[in-house]
Amino acid sequence: MKNIITIGGSNSKNSINKILAEYTGSLLNNVQLSKIDLNDFELPLFSVDVENEQGFSEGLKKLNTIIDEADGFIISLAEHNGAYSVAFKNAFDWLSRIEGKVWRDKPMLLLATSPGERGGETALNIALGRFPYMGGNIIGSMSFPSFFENFKEDEITNAELKATHLKLVNKFQNAI
């Protein structure tokens, strides 16, 4: 059984990106889901000085091992001021110090959502441009607009978005 990691690219307790990533994972068949909450990994704020003085934290090593053991990723990025959230960027920077190919060429479904109409598209585009240089094997991507209007009671309520999302899920299922 494939081990698929879901990651909400945020440290909000009620992260809508975590919700979307986990919902997406729940639609896959015959997989074991490992649901990552970035709050569960102790990671200091990255700096080269902290790295030199303290090395890699236990939390970072744990996260890196989880990524190593994964068969694929479903990531949904939060957008803060047109970029990754600090929590995601911090984890990403730390992980890149252990292994430049952070995503190990494993299949990835890349999402982003926000309460706004653009659905985190700017952060998504940053990742689409960067992840391929970091071992990102992006099978499909989607920005999911106006989360609270289009996702209710654990379901995508907008028929068009639901169909687009399901196509992506099927494409990812075939890739893993």
Ligand X SMILES: Cc1cc2nc3c(=O)[nH]c(=O)nc-3n(C[C@H](O)[C@H](O)[C@H](O)COP(=O)(O)O)c2cc1C
Residues in contact with ligand X by the rule CB under 6 A: 8, 10, 12, 15-17, 78-82, 114-116, 118, 120
Least distance in Å: CB of 92 to ligand X? 15
Q: Indicate the residue among 72 and 120 with the shorter CB distance to ligand X.
A: 120
Least distance in Å: CB of 143 to ligand X? 9
Q: Indicate the residue among 78 and 156 with the shorter CB distance to ligand X.
A: 78
Give the pairing of strands 79-80 and 83-84: antiparallel
Least distance in Å: CB of 63 to ligand X? 18
Least distance in Å: CB of 99 to ligand X? 25
- Among residues 126, 168, 131, 161, which one has the least CA distance to residue 146? 161
CB contact at 8 A, 34 and 104: no
Least distance in Å: CB of 35 to ligand X? 14
d(CA 68, CA 153): 33
Q: Indicate the residue among 40 and 69 with the shorter CB distance to ligand X.
A: 40
Name the 3-class secondary structure at 95. helix
Q: Indicate the residue among 6 and 10 with the shorter CB distance to ligand X.
A: 10
- Residues in Cβ contact with 72 at an 8 Å cutoff, skipping those fewer than 6 apart: 2, 4, 5, 106, 107, 108, 109, 172, 175, 176
Q: Indicate the residue among 94 and 147 with the shorter CB distance to ligand X.
A: 147
d(CA 88, CA 78): 8
- In whole angstroms, what separates CA 34 from the centre of its chain? 12
